[in-house]
Amino acid sequence: MALSESLVLGLYRSMVRIRLFELKVQEVYRSGVMPGFIHLYVGEEAVAAGVCESLSQYDYVTSTHRGHGHAIAKGIPMGPAFAEIWGKPNGCNGGRGGSMHIYDPAFGFLGTNGIVGASVPLGAGAALAAQVKGSKQVAVSFFGDGAVNNCAFHEGVNLAAIWNLPVVFVCENNLYATETPFAKVTRNTDVASRGAAYGIPGTSVDGNDVIAVYQAAGQAIDVARSGGGPTLIECRTYRPLGHFEGDPGIGYRTKEEIAEWKKRDPINVLRERILADRLATAEILDGIWSDVEVEVEAAYQYAKSGPDADPSSVMDFVYSD
Amino acid sequence: MREIKYVDAGVEAIQEEMRRDPSVIYMGQGIGPREGNYKQSRGLWKEFGEHRVRDTPISELGQVGLGVGAAMAGARPIVDIVFLDMIMEAMGQVVEQAATIHYISNGQIKVPIVIRAAMGTVRSTGPHHSRCFYSWFAHIPGLKVVLPASPEDVKGFMKTAIRDDGPVMFIEHKFFYNKKGPVPEGEYTIPFGKARVLRPGSDVTLVAMSLMVGKAIEAAEILSKEGVEVEVIDPRTIVPLDRETILASVKKTGRLVIADEAQAFCGFSAEIAAIVSEQALEFLNAPIQRVCALHTPHPFNGVLEAAMLPSVAGVVEAVRKSIRG
């Protein structure tokens, strides 16, 4: 497949936006002003960027506890996303959710989620609504390796398979569920092979190669949109940081392993390919980086300027009437 | 007025709503060509087809999870769990997702799902087909909880539940399914949060729901012959709860008995007692009495089952105790 300049630069920008957003969130969190638990998406950017490139604003995404990248890649503006993670009323859902409960229906974003596995049936359900409406929308359900031994994965994928729902299941296999190695709790570590158990295609790609993710996801999204049913895509990637902000991320894995994966940083992998194939110049790539720095700083200022909540709003929205 | 079965009143409500609104879908185990364990989906698959009436595998978590996702994306799913006991397999989807999303999304995402299931004991239905978990759902902010005790209520409340923009637990009683009762012709809805005074009385307020409504009426008739006039109130929906009707009755009678097929401890009966203690204590002339299931799982043996469940005789005795003060 011939890669266009606009495609590779779009993917590059998408990954850089996630990376710099996350590094700013990390900085603010470490300064002590940001409450709650956060799980950063650094190192896994190729998955969210590569998948969401083929989605429209009206397609659906369900996400995980490590979901800032999905939110940004799906199009939620950085300012309201940053403010949400900060718990501010100017967040995209009023600061009522925070990092693990980011929602924005205007962008089809049906939530990051504090419950591992929950994104699977919810994503399939959004696809069910699309099928019933005949709307041609597609849903993408992101989840980690930690979700695939959970009942929610099994039941959600099976129901999507029997009903031929327009959904793509994207497993971000980063090899560890918190600190537990996937191989230690799973005899068949080939997640893609599980597609066969449900009678749907399963494919495994290098999750640090955004082009590979883009191609596999784009094809699966096309199949789903044209009525061909669900696909399971396993993206093999890695979390160079700890599980949550504050976890040093070592002790349960070796420094050598982390260093090895850092050599395959998804942004660098794409940058090297762009330069090697002469798809764009270093100046252009550096320019994207500078643009995004400005965007992230503005998002931070937006979030920082948000007032705190009005306590009289605490009972709002418990019920829908 | 015409009389139809409790189960058929539910079918009629769903049929009318599915004709009215193409976003209403119905999913559950065996509700397609088989038409449900209790014929609670009779004719629906034939009329609406498998696109809107979907047989599921035995996947309670998946059914509810997909129902919630579909509701978030613009459908109005009815998810049939058949036996309320099995909802335990899907509790995370009910509590963490369905009940929570509207609030946490700052009111931006509505979750109009009806989760339908039948509770209660019929005869030796045993520990996995008898439970009355309804107060658990009432404890969770965001869920509405409906317990219809008549065919008329089934139809009117089911239509209200389907049109509601939030999650509704629609909890029927297995014992009622084949019982007939008057149901108005044509379309009607019943608003949530309005208790019904089934029998006026001046001496004791008796609050009962679902199967216990019939037992409460029976008890009231026995007591009437003794010269004790019992006011029987069916709250009909626990969330929202019509506190006013219960409080007004207690202020009139000065006595309160609560009959509940579920266990007493931390249950619905405890909540009613707490509300009356907080808001009408000075009107009470006697301690509040509760007639509930014993704190055991449901035994299969008929003698043990009868010993465990609240009875008409138990309600009569509790009212007499209340009168004695």
Per-residue pLDDT tens digits for A274-316 = 999 999 999 999 999 999 999 999 999 999 999 999 999 999 9
Indicate left, alpha or beta for A108 from its phi (over 0: left) and psi (-120 to 50: alpha). left
> Measured between beta carbons, which residues in chain A are less than 8 angstroms from residue B163?
none
The total number of structural domains that make up chain A: 1
CB atoms < 10 A from the CB of B179, how many? 14
The residues of B annotated with a catalytic role in the active site are: 60, 129
* Assigned domain for A287 exists: no
* Assigned domain for B323 exists: no
Closest chain A residue to the Cα of B143, Cα to Cα:
A319
Query: Which residue, of B131, B160, B182, is where some domain finishes?
Result: B182
In A164-230 the beta strands, taken as DSSP E runs, fall at 167-173, 176-177, 180-181, 202-206
- Asked if pLDDT for residue A1 goes beyond 70, the answer is no
* Assigned domain for B248 exists: yes
Give how far the C-alpha of residue A19 lies from the chain's centroid of Cα atoms, to the nearest Å.
12
Closest chain A residue to the Cα of B66, Cα to Cα:
A125
Query: Which residue, of B148, B182, B216, is where some domain finishes?
Result: B182
Closest chain B residue to the Cα of A84, Cα to Cα:
B105
Asked if residue B16 and residue B135 are part of one domain, the reply reads yes
Asked if residue B166 and residue B57 are part of one domain, the reply reads yes
Query: Which residue, of B182, B211, B234, is where some domain finishes?
Result: B182
Q: CA-CA distances (angstroms) from residue B274 to A216, B258, B277, B290?
A: 59, 12, 5, 12
- Asked if pLDDT for residue A207 goes beyond 70, the answer is yes
Asked if residue B213 and residue B150 are part of one domain, the reply reads no
Provide the token pair at A118. 């929950």
CA-based nearest distance A155→chain B, Å: 5
User: What's the pLDDT band for A321 if we cut at 50, 70, 90?
Assistant: confident
Asked if residue B92 and residue B46 are part of one domain, the reply reads yes
> Measured between beta carbons, which residues in chain B are less than 8 angstroms from residue A156?
62, 65-66
Per-residue pLDDT tens digits for B274-323 = 999 999 999 999 999 999 999 999 999 999 999 999 999 999 999 999 99
> Measured between beta carbons, which residues in chain A are less than 8 angstroms from residue B95?
none
* Assigned domain for B325 exists: no
Is B72 close to A126, i.e. CB distance below 8 A? yes
| pLDDT > 70 in chain A, percent | 100
CA-based nearest distance B151→chain A, Å: 26
Provide the token pair at B230. 């019992």
Asked if residue B165 and residue B297 are part of one domain, the reply reads no
Per-residue pLDDT tens digits for A209-234 = 999 999 999 999 999 999 999 999 99
* Assigned domain for B94 exists: yes
* Assigned domain for B188 exists: no
Asked if residue B154 and residue B83 are part of one domain, the reply reads yes
Asked if residue B208 and residue B149 are part of one domain, the reply reads no
Per-residue pLDDT tens digits for A236-283 = 999 999 999 988 888 999 999 999 999 999 999 999 999 999 999 999
pTM, two decimals, is 0.97
Closest chain A residue to the Cα of B73, Cα to Cα:
A126
The total number of structural domains that make up chain B: 2
Per-residue pLDDT tens digits for B210-261 = 999 999 999 999 999 999 999 999 999 999 999 999 999 999 999 999 999 9
Is B105 close to A103, i.e. CB distance below 8 A? yes
* Assigned domain for A312 exists: no
Tally C-beta pairs within 8 A across A and B: 158
CA dist., res. A295 & res. B78, Å (int): 44
CA-based nearest distance A317→chain B, Å: 5
pLDDT attached to residue B325:
82
CATH number of the domain within which B264 lies: 3.40.50.920
- Asked if pLDDT for residue B44 goes beyond 70, the answer is yes
Domain limits for position A126:
5-241+256-280+295-301
Is A155 close to B61, i.e. CB distance below 8 A? yes
Question: Which of A101, A104, A155 best probes binding to B when mutated, by most B CB atoms within 10 angstroms?
Answer: A155
Asked if residue B103 and residue B59 are part of one domain, the reply reads yes
CATH number of the domain within which A32 lies: 3.40.50.970
Per-residue pLDDT tens digits for B47-103 = 999 999 999 999 999 999 999 999 999 999 999 999 999 999 999 999 999 999 999
Asked if residue B310 and residue B201 are part of one domain, the reply reads yes
> Measured between beta carbons, which residues in chain B are less than 8 angstroms from residue A125?
65-73, 77
* Assigned domain for A249 exists: no
Asked if residue B160 and residue B79 are part of one domain, the reply reads yes
> Measured between beta carbons, which residues in chain A are less than 8 angstroms from residue B73?
60, 110, 125-126, 128-130, 137, 139
CA dist., res. B180 & res. B32, Å (int): 24
Asked if residue B256 and residue B152 are part of one domain, the reply reads no
A162 touches chain B (CB under 8 A): yes
CA dist., res. A223 & res. A232, Å (int): 12
> Measured between beta carbons, which residues in chain B are less than 8 angstroms from residue A161?
none
Asked if residue B234 and residue B263 are part of one domain, the reply reads yes
Burial (CB < 10 A; 0-12, 13-18, 19+), residue B191, is exposed
CATH number of the domain within which B132 lies: 3.40.50.970
* Assigned domain for B190 exists: no
Q: CA-CA distances (angstroms) from residue B182 to A260, B3, B145, B218?
A: 74, 4, 23, 19
Q: What is residue B275's three-state secondary structure?
A: helix
Domain limits for position B86:
3-182
Average pLDDT of chain B to the nearest whole number? 97
A155 touches chain B (CB under 8 A): yes
* Assigned domain for B31 exists: yes
* Assigned domain for A151 exists: yes
What crossing angle do the helices spanning B60-72 and A119-133 adopt, rounded to 10°? 60
Average pLDDT of span A53-81:
98
A-contacting residues of B 67-86, CB under 8 Å? 67-75, 77
CA-based nearest distance A17→chain B, Å: 24
* Assigned domain for A290 exists: no
